[in-house]
A and B are shown apart, each in its own frame.
Chain A
Amino acid sequence: MSIALNAQGLSKSFNGIKAADGVSVSVADGEFVSLIGANGAGKTTFINMVTGYVRPDVGSITSYGREIVGLSPLQVTRLGIYRSFQIPQVFTGLTLMENLTVAINAVTAHERPLLSPRKAALNPDSRDRVDAVMERFQLGKYRDHLVSEISGGMRKLLDVGMATINSPKVLMLDEPTSGVASEEKFDFMDLVIEALSDQKAAVLFVEHDMDIVRRYADRIVVFHEGRVLADDRPDAALAQEDVRRYVTGKA
């Protein structure tokens, strides 16, 4: 196993409020790590720092040994670090089919200066890949629907579908199951895991549902007020006294 993501001593303040305070997290390839913590604990800030949206005040982040602090979201993505969002970031004015077509074309254009202004967006290559994602995430039924017309849960699937579209090396999912009906959450996570089964992606996912966390996480990183409170196997982390007091609320 090699270290897919290694963050050391990350700190970030917003107007004097410490959103991250010496955060260190390391994830190996193939590992499934859950980030938990109350709202405002610094989970999303951590994801934003890794993916180049927010630059940490201090600290270092490496992916497979390469320093990524200071890179733009675009550059970070091109290194194979993909993310999904708490509120799905998709193209609401386009159909599901068009959404995935744009995504496929975008990721296959990383080596080119720009997408082709002549080659049809929906060509045999992109169509095959779009169909594969549709099938994997069971979205085929809605392929010609505008995304503004489909349910929040479907949008979430589409958002995650886009994040997993190009064999990510590191995948960061920000609350993948929020907005998904509770009885569908396990199915949802199964779909995500299946989509990644032939890859050795390091997966970090923010989650509030402890049933999901226990079932899918190899390891838990607990955030509290910008710090890492615990970083351990699920049973051990969740049994920790301060975690129970501050985070899971079962002291």
Chain B
Amino acid sequence: MIHAVTSSPPLAALVCAAALMAVGLMLPDWVLFTASLALAKGLVVLGLVLLLRMGAVSFGQGMYYCLGAYICGLVGNATGVQDALFLVILSGLGCCALGAVLGVFLSAYRGVFFAMFNLALSMILYGALLKATSVGGSDGIGIAPPSYFGLSPSDEYRSILFYAFVVVIAAGVGLATRIYMRSELGLAALAVRDNEIRLEYLGLSVRRVIVFNYAIAAGLAGLGGGLVALVSGHIIPEFAYWTTSGEFVFMTVLSGPSSIVAAFGATALFETVRLVAGQYLPNAWQLMLGAFLLLSILFLPNGIGALAAGRRRTRAPDAKEDAR
């Protein structure tokens, strides 16, 4: 039974989605809110995991996250269309398109330059949104609750329905990502991290591999941003602020590059620690998070994903050794 689930990605996605739904039905609304938030942010982290597989880290993923949220909010408010699926797909596609364009330029950079270039772009967006009074300036904008294929749930069912919606999207994206990671291109992305020179001398364009992954990561961040906009009902420029991007990197490091479930798990863990620590240690929750990350780096350098992948060999990022 377990083997059948692990060897069939669609079945695994279905089982995960069903389990999450079953748990969700037992949760109070305020936990459902946090869970929806965690799943939505998990999509952003999943995008960063795709970059991490190539050895790339972006300190500016908040840009696409924020842009996705604003696309969702502005289009929803301007057109009156409140359909959740339509709005979040628009958020994802919009960010994916921008990612594809920016990726062409950013793919010329590596390491810290790549990370900081992204950070700079995200801070430009943040600054622009602060000054843009037409989109609410520093106050941000509010969004009406979403509808689903023409159905507007009453307040009573709003949280559980949105949670179900996020679960379905997360399961679908998770499944697609899993198929991608095992694909020709997905394996080549791992090879980018190890040795770009060899790939070029095999006649493969490393740049195209990077642009593809960057665009997908941007799209996932946009999708996550759109979902967060809908669940929270309010969006602010801080979505693009560097600390938001930093949190996503934090969750990505916690997740590690090897597992999709870990990307969502790390996000959920992060949000839980923040929630619990914020509740009981309101002045020291960042300290808790810091200690938490430190421990995970020391004892799980490949993230919590390495726990699940324990039976497989580890892929330490420093396995490069004398590659050159």
Interface residues of A (CB under 8 A from B): 51, 72-74, 77-78, 82-83, 87, 89-95, 98-99, 101-103, 105-107, 109-110, 113-122, 126, 146, 148, 162-163, 165-166
Question: In the complex, which of the residues A77, A94, A119 contacts B194, with contact meaning CB atoms closer than 8 Å?
Answer: A94
State the CA gap A249–B223 with chains docked (Å): 68
Specify which chain A residues have a CB less than 8 angstroms from the CB of B197 in the assembled complex: 73, 89
B207-222 contacts to A (CB < 8 Å): 208-209, 212
A94-B191, A105-B188, A146-B319 known; A89 vs B201 contact (CB < 8 Å): yes
Interface residues of B (CB under 8 A from A): 179-180, 182-188, 190-191, 193-195, 197-205, 208-209, 212, 313, 315-317, 319-324
Question: In the complex, which of the residues B179, B180, B188, B323 contacts A102, with contact meaning CB atoms closer than 8 Å?
Answer: B188
Question: In the complex, which of the residues A74, A87, A119, A165 contacts B324, with contact meaning CB atoms closer than 8 Å?
Answer: A87
Specify which chain B residues have a CB less than 8 angstroms from the CB of A90 in the assembled complex: 194-195, 198, 323
State the CA gap A165–B313 with chains docked (Å): 27
Is the Cβ of A114 less than 8 Å from the Cβ of B202?
A: no
Is the Cβ of A109 less than 8 Å from the Cβ of B201?
A: no
Is the Cβ of B201 less than 8 Å from the Cβ of A117?
A: no
Can you name the residue of chain A whose Cβ is closest to the Cβ of B194? A91
Question: In the complex, which of the residues B182, B195, B320 contacts A120, with contact meaning CB atoms closer than 8 Å?
Answer: B182
A87-B322, A93-B319, A119-B183 known; A113 vs B201 contact (CB < 8 Å): no
Is the Cβ of B186 less than 8 Å from the Cβ of A77?
A: no
Is the Cβ of B320 less than 8 Å from the Cβ of A93?
A: yes
Is the Cβ of A114 less than 8 Å from the Cβ of B186?
A: no
Question: In the complex, which of the residues B200, B316, B323 contacts A77, with contact meaning CB atoms closer than 8 Å?
Answer: B200
Minimum CB–CB distance for A205 against chain B, Å: 16
Minimum CB–CB distance for B50 against chain A, Å: 11
Is the Cβ of B204 less than 8 Å from the Cβ of A92?
A: no
Q: List 29 A-B contacts (CB under 8 A).
A: A74-B203, A74-B204, A77-B201, A77-B203, A78-B203, A87-B322, A89-B195, A89-B324, A92-B194, A92-B319, A92-B321, A92-B323, A93-B315, A94-B191, A102-B187, A105-B184, A106-B204, A107-B202, A109-B204, A114-B209, A115-B183, A115-B184, A115-B204, A116-B183, A116-B184, A117-B186, A119-B183, A121-B182, A121-B183
Is the Cβ of B200 less than 8 Å from the Cβ of A94?
A: no
Specify which chain A residues have a CB less than 8 angstroms from the CB of B313 in the assembled complex: 95, 146
Specify which chain B residues have a CB less than 8 angstroms from the CB of A73 in the assembled complex: 197, 200-201
Is the Cβ of B324 less than 8 Å from the Cβ of A91?
A: no
A98-B187, A113-B208, A115-B184 known; A107 vs B322 contact (CB < 8 Å): no
Minimum CB–CB distance for A144 against chain B, Å: 8
Specify which chain B residues have a CB less than 8 angstroms from the CB of A106 in the assembled complex: 188, 199, 202-204
State the CA gap A94–B313 with chains docked (Å): 10
Can you name the residue of chain A whose Cβ is closest to the Cβ of B207? A74
Can you name the residue of chain A whose Cβ is closest to the Cβ of B211? A114
A92-B321, A148-B319 known; A72 vs B195 contact (CB < 8 Å): no
Can you name the residue of chain B whose Cβ is closest to the Cβ of A120? B182
State the CA gap A94–B188 with chains docked (Å): 10
State the CA gap A61–B164 with chains docked (Å): 63
Minimum CB–CB distance for B303 against chain A, Å: 15
Minimum CB–CB distance for B3 against chain A, Å: 19
Minimum CB–CB distance for A70 against chain B, Å: 16
Given A73-B200, A114-B205, A122-B182, 9 additional A-B pairs, CB 8 A: A77-B203, A89-B323, A91-B195, A99-B191, A106-B188, A117-B186, A119-B184, A163-B201, A165-B202
Specify which chain B residues have a CB less than 8 angstroms from the CB of A121 in the assembled complex: 182-184, 186-188
Is the Cβ of A162 less than 8 Å from the Cβ of B184?
A: no
Minimum CB–CB distance for A213 against chain B, Å: 25
Specify which chain B residues have a CB less than 8 angstroms from the CB of A109 in the assembled complex: 184, 203-204
Minimum CB–CB distance for A117 against chain B, Å: 4
Minimum CB–CB distance for A35 against chain B, Å: 18
Specify which chain A residues have a CB less than 8 angstroms from the CB of B201 in the assembled complex: 51, 73-74, 77, 82-83, 89, 163
Is the Cβ of B205 less than 8 Å from the Cβ of A74?
A: yes
Specify which chain A residues have a CB less than 8 angstroms from the CB of B185 in the assembled complex: 114-117
Is the Cβ of B183 less than 8 Å from the Cβ of A120?
A: yes
Can you name the residue of chain B whose Cβ is closest to the Cβ of A78? B203
Specify which chain B residues have a CB less than 8 angstroms from the CB of A162 in the assembled complex: 198, 202
Most interface-central of B198, B203, B323 (chain A CB within 10 A): B203
Specify which chain A residues have a CB less than 8 angstroms from the CB of B208 in the assembled complex: 113-114
Specify which chain B residues have a CB less than 8 angstroms from the CB of A51 in the assembled complex: 201
Can you name the residue of chain B whose Cβ is closest to the Cβ of A91? B194
State the CA gap A51–B200 with chains docked (Å): 11
State the CA gap A182–B322 with chains docked (Å): 22
Specify which chain B residues have a CB less than 8 angstroms from the CB of A83 in the assembled complex: 201
State the CA gap A72–B200 with chains docked (Å): 9
Specify which chain A residues have a CB less than 8 angstroms from the CB of B212 in the assembled complex: 114, 117
State the CA gap A94–B187 with chains docked (Å): 9
State the CA gap A102–B201 with chains docked (Å): 12
Specify which chain A residues have a CB less than 8 angstroms from the CB of B195 in the assembled complex: 89-92
In the A-B complex, the 5 residue pairs with the smallest Cβ-Cβ separation, listed nearest first, are A106-B202, A91-B194, A121-B187, A106-B204, A115-B184
